[in-house]
Amino acid sequence: MVQVAVMGHGVVGSGVVEVLENHRESIAKRAKEEINIKYILDIREFPDSPYADKFTKSFDDILNDDDVKVVAEVMGGVNPAYDFTKKLLLAGKSVVTSNKELVATKGAELLEIAKQKNANYLFEASVGGGIPIIRPMSQCLAANDVVEVAGILNGTTNFILTKMIREHMGFEDALKMAQQLGYAEKDPTADVEGHDACRKIAILASLAYGKHIYPELVHTQGITRIALEDVAYAASWGGVIKLIGQVKRLDDGKLDITVEPMFIESSSQLAGVDDVFNGILVKGDATGDVVFYGKGAGKLPTASAVVADIIDCVKHLGARKYIFWADGDASLVKPYEETVYPVYIRVECDDRKLAAEAVSRLFKNPRAIVRTDALDNEYAFAADEMTVAQQEEAAGELEKLGIKIRSKIRISDL
Ligand code: HSE
């Protein structure tokens, strides 16, 4: 029998205990060992829990118990999860986690300690909830050079955008609904400002390219500035707006890595990923496009991924699963101002004809986009590829002419 511990008894943590207990027999068959939860760590009291005898408030109980071989860290946040994980790995215990913030910020260091101690640090649940993505990328697609990863990585923002697109609901109302349904947190900043998706694409990029891409290296923009007018123009253009986390290797070897809203053509596989679902597209040089789709959040889907990692660790006690990336630095990433893409712009102007003339002078091959019910003082267009710096300069020239930029959104090639 292998003894394990679960740190954190929130939504995911309680799900992990539930899955381990309810599937005890089938898990034992798959792991070829019975798995027993010896400790559940939480500072809160759970007197009515059927597992009340397992609770402890002392991390040292877990750290100093040599019988505990695998620990699930489902506390979230960097502190104290980082300190705890480091101590556990240094003690030679394997750790599994759903904690994307910790993996995205400290992954290289923790993976290095795991390697030195011949232990494992696994984090399938950190991206895409129950969708298998970390293991497929590190094992099944191992023969490929990953050319690009792009995905809808945040369920909350995808739900909000879907409501805006399908029901013409405003951002604030859609956010309120997401909160009522329990998708968005009370403080939804990490979701709507793109930080959650940023951590996830940083993890996938680190995995794909073998060097740690820290979240602060990723240009990140959320969906708070998306207006219903932009949604309507995207529809006229032939697509939808989605919050996309994307990384691709450019010809000069640098990574174009961003989280930002993008215009996506309706024919794209990601355009039909709606509501709280996630979709992740991995382009391999041998496989071509591979798409992963499913529920990217939620108690049991996420717990299922955590428990799968526990089983993997139990099957590999004293042996290493090869998931690794080395430390990275800013030189790996193309500065955002130098990235090149086609763009959609919506402006407010006194005279559409004058605006169109200025736009055709300043942008590359601009095409006007029209929508029904457009206001007299609005003008929107799609233009061909320019660097972000060139776009900003051209936009500045428009502003000087009294033409106000109301929206500027990347047009994707997905
Ligand atoms: N807040 C996240 C989301 C949860 O909405 O996708 C899963 O990471």
| 235 CA from centroid of ligand 1 (Å) | 26
Per-residue pLDDT band at 172 (split at 50, 70, 90): very high
**Where do you find CATH 3.40.50.720 in the chain?**
2-130+299-327
Tell the residue nearest (CA) to atom 7 of ligand 1: 297
Q: Any idea of the CA torsion for 56, 62, 65, 70, to the nearest 10 degrees?
A: 130
> Distance between CA atoms of 279 and 274, rounded to whole angstroms?
9
Q: How remote is the C-alpha of 118 from its chain's centroid?
A: 28
Question: So what's the pLDDT on residue 181?
Answer: 86
Distances (CA, A) of 21 to 17, 59, 68, 187, 299: 6, 22, 17, 32, 15
Tell the residue nearest (CA) to atom 4 of ligand 1: 297
- CATH superfamily of the 2-130+299-327 domain: NAD(P)-binding Rossmann-like Domain (3.40.50.720)
Atom number of ligand 1 nearest to Cα 127: 8
Ligand 1 mutation pick, 133, 154, 195, max ligand atoms within 8 A of CB: 154
- Residue-wise pLDDT for 39-48, tens only, equals 999 999 999 9
Per-residue pLDDT band at 362 (split at 50, 70, 90): very high
Question: So what's the pLDDT on residue 144?
Answer: 85
Atom number of ligand 1 nearest to Cα 156: 5
Q: Is the pLDDT of residue 286 over 80?
A: yes
Q: Do 368 and 380 meet the contact criterion of CB atoms below 8 Å apart?
A: yes
User: Averaged over 394-402, what is the pLDDT?
Assistant: 98
Amino acid, single-letter form, for residue 266: S
Distances (CA, A) of 72 to 196, 202, 298, 311, 349: 21, 22, 17, 11, 56
DSSP 138: I
Per-residue pLDDT band at 184 (split at 50, 70, 90): confident
> Distance between CA atoms of 377 and 17, rounded to whole angstroms?
58
Average model confidence (pLDDT) for the chain?
96
> Distance between CA atoms of 224 and 194, rounded to whole angstroms?
10
Atom number of ligand 1 nearest to Cα 100: 8
Please state, for a pLDDT cut of 70, what percent of the chain lies above it.
Answer: 100
| 81 CA from centroid of ligand 1 (Å) | 19
Atom number of ligand 1 nearest to Cα 297: 7
User: Averaged over 267-286, what is the pLDDT?
Assistant: 95
Ligand 1 mutation pick, 74, 97, 126, 156, max ligand atoms within 8 A of CB: 156
Q: Do 256 and 334 meet the contact criterion of CB atoms below 8 Å apart?
A: yes
Question: So what's the pLDDT on residue 321?
Answer: 86
Ligand 1 mutation pick, 196, 244, 306, max ligand atoms within 8 A of CB: 196
> Distance between CA atoms of 301 and 131, rounded to whole angstroms?
8
Question: So what's the pLDDT on residue 187?
Answer: 81
| 174 CA from centroid of ligand 1 (Å) | 16
Question: So what's the pLDDT on residue 220?
Answer: 98
Question: So what's the pLDDT on residue 156?
Answer: 94
CATH class name, domain 135-295: alpha beta
Ligand 1 mutation pick, 133, 183, 243, 277, max ligand atoms within 8 A of CB: 183
**Which residues sit with their C-beta closer than 6 Å to ligand 1?**
129, 154-156, 183, 191, 196, 296-297
**Where do you find CATH 3.30.360.10 in the chain?**
135-295
User: Averaged over 373-388, what is the pLDDT?
Assistant: 96
The residue annotated as part of the active site, out of 54, 100, 163, 200, is: 200
Amino acid, single-letter form, for residue 84: F
DSSP code per residue over 144-190: SPEEEEEEE--HHHHHHHHHHHHH---HHHHHHHHHHTTSS-SS-HH
Per-residue pLDDT band at 97 (split at 50, 70, 90): very high
| 264 CA from centroid of ligand 1 (Å) | 21
Q: Is 61 helix (H, G, I), strand (E, B) or coil?
A: helix
- Residue-wise pLDDT for 318-358, tens only, equals 898 889 999 999 999 999 999 999 999 999 999 999 999 99
User: Averaged over 30-38, what is the pLDDT?
Assistant: 96
- Residue-wise pLDDT for 295-322, tens only, equals 888 899 999 999 999 999 999 998 988 8
User: Averaged over 89-113, what is the pLDDT?
Assistant: 98
- Residue-wise pLDDT for 192-241, tens only, equals 999 999 999 999 999 999 999 999 999 999 999 999 999 999 999 999 99
Atom number of ligand 1 nearest to Cα 154: 6
| 151 CA from centroid of ligand 1 (Å) | 13
Atom number of ligand 1 nearest to Cα 278: 6
Tokens, residue 217? 């290296």
> What b/e string do you get for 310-331 counting C-beta neighbours within 10 Å, with b at 16 or more?
bbbbbeeeeeebebbbeebeee
**Where do you find CATH 3.30.70.1150 in the chain?**
339-411
- Residue-wise pLDDT for 129-141, tens only, equals 889 999 999 988 8
Question: So what's the pLDDT on residue 297?
Answer: 83
Secondary structure E strands in 42-98: 55-56, 68-73, 94-97
Q: β-pairing, 277-284 with 288-295?
A: antiparallel
| 386 CA from centroid of ligand 1 (Å) | 33
Active site residue 32: no
Q: Is the pLDDT of residue 186 over 80?
A: no
| 198 CA from centroid of ligand 1 (Å) | 12
CATH class name, domain 339-411: alpha beta
Alpha helices in 23-148 (DSSP H): 24-31, 59-63, 81-90, 100-116, 134-135
Question: So what's the pLDDT on residue 296?
Answer: 85
